[in-house]
Amino acid sequence: MISKRNAKAVSAALLMMGTFAAFSQEIPSLKNTFKNDFGIGTALNNGQIEERDPKMTEMIVRQFNRATPENVMKSALIHPKWDTYDFVVPDKLIEFGKKHNIKINGHTLIWHSQLPSFIRGIHSKDSIQTFFTNHIQTVAGRYKDNIFSWDVVNEALNEDGTLRKTVFLDYLGEGYLAEAFRLTQQAAPNVELYYNDYNNEQPAKRAGCISLIKKIQASGARIDGVGIQGHWHVGKVPLKDIEESILQYAALGLKVMFTELDIEVLPRNFQGADVNQRVASNPDLNPYTAGLPDNVQQQLAADYEALFKLFLKHKDKVTRVTFWGVNDGNSWLNGWPVRGRTNYPLLFDRENQPKPAFYKVIALKK
């Protein structure tokens, strides 16, 4: 006879086993589902790189075969002082990739945001040039044999397609773009080299991106791919512009990647993903703290379905699709552009459970 108490324990154990079985067997894997189509990536934060939560690690390894560090390879973190680099967590990321068979995309060498604070004290062309050269040679050189690719330059364009005014453009002139690719190629000859931006599927910015790429190519430097970040909004994913962009970028001989995919469900009054842009918090901007309404959930699912349908149609040109975060709880969109919101932009919920959008995406391959 099983006592009442034991029966409770047994049923709890069965429930746990059931949950475990559902988790490890029944939930399909994105990376396996799309293994003949393109790589499936995620951004990783420090806790994930350091494997602080074994369940999270299991989930990452099961779902993804590509990863991009969300922050730890940005210059402010990897190069905090003029002569000081911090490779501790970046090295762990490389180990994580080796151990779990995940290819690492370095993010990013030359970007105007998240720069080390000492840059603000530099006011000469020579010193900026020295920082620029040393940074690329040291960071790209360190990982030359164990990183798959680099976002060599990130976000160099304005919305109208002109070059963004940055410390690099100001001091070095527009030649800094080709120079960044040339230096990275020299430091890491076997690594793929990409240009990465947001909104570069929009016609004006896309035209600027194409001319930037052509100039890099004309300089003789190598560029292998272009990343479209893909920070979009529910019900407003610009599918036509995305398709046109895949075709036009591929026509330049480049691989096309979606590098920071998320679909925001909360309101805001501007487009894009400039990390320096902020909006004051206000309860009207945070409507779904108690859960996502079903109609929005269904729209999100339909948007992801349409996007992946398009990616599959052009799988000969699209080499990777990377989500900017593993689950809704990790997403940067809970903190940007408004602090402290509850956002739902990814395929997995805060408990790492698949959302309707996940099943729509998987069903495209059935």
Binding site for ligand XIL (CB under 6 A): 70-71, 154, 229, 260, 273, 275, 332
Contact 224, 153 (CB under 8 A): no
All residues at 6 or more sequence positions from 302 whose CB lies less than 8 Å from its CB, including other chains:
360
CA 45 to chain centre: 11
All residues at 6 or more sequence positions from 72 whose CB lies less than 8 Å from its CB, including other chains:
46, 49, 78, 89, 90, 93
Verify whether residue 179 is a known catalytic residue.
no
Helix, strand, coil share (%) of the chain residues, nearest 5: 45, 15, 40
Task: State which residue, 71 or 137, has the beta carbon closest to ligand XIL.
Answer: 71
Verify whether residue 51 is a known catalytic residue.
no
Q: Provide, rounded to whole angstroms, the least separation between the CB of residue 194 and ligand XIL.
A: 12
Q: Provide, rounded to whole angstroms, the least separation between the CB of residue 173 and ligand XIL.
A: 23
Give the C-alpha separation, 89 to 200, whole Å.
30
Q: Nearest to residue 323, comparing CAs of 257, 259, 265? A: 259
Q: Provide, rounded to whole angstroms, the least separation between the CB of residue 358 and ligand XIL.
A: 21
Active-site hit among 70, 179, 201, 260: 260
- Terminal CA-to-CA distance of the chain, rounded, Å? 47
Query: Which residue in the block uniquely carries the two structure tokens 């998987």?
Result: 362
Task: State which residue, 27 or 115, has the beta carbon closest to ligand XIL.
Answer: 115
Task: State which residue, 248 or 322, has the beta carbon closest to ligand XIL.
Answer: 322
Q: Provide, rounded to whole angstroms, the least separation between the CB of residue 80 and ligand XIL.
A: 16
Q: Provide, rounded to whole angstroms, the least separation between the CB of residue 270 and ligand XIL.
A: 14
Following CA atoms 230, 232, 344, 352 in sequence, which dihedral angle do they give, to the nearest 10 degrees? Answer: -20
Q: Helix, strand, or coil here: 316?
A: coil
Task: State which residue, 275 or 364, has the beta carbon closest to ligand XIL.
Answer: 275
Active-site hit among 155, 192, 201, 264: 155
Task: State which residue, 301 or 338, has the beta carbon closest to ligand XIL.
Answer: 338
CA angle 315, 41, 184 (to 5 degrees): 90
Q: Helix, strand, or coil here: 331?
A: coil
Q: Provide, rounded to whole angstroms, the least separation between the CB of residue 18 and ligand XIL.
A: 35
Contact 303, 21 (CB under 8 A): no
Q: Helix, strand, or coil here: 113?
A: coil
Task: State which residue, 33 or 327, has the beta carbon closest to ligand XIL.
Answer: 327
Q: Provide, rounded to whole angstroms, the least separation between the CB of residue 22 and ligand XIL.
A: 30
Give the C-alpha separation, 193 to 187, whole Å.
12
> How many of the other CB atoms lie within 10 Å of CB of 79?
23
Task: State which residue, 323 or 332, has the beta carbon closest to ligand XIL.
Answer: 332
Residues recognised as catalytic:
155, 260
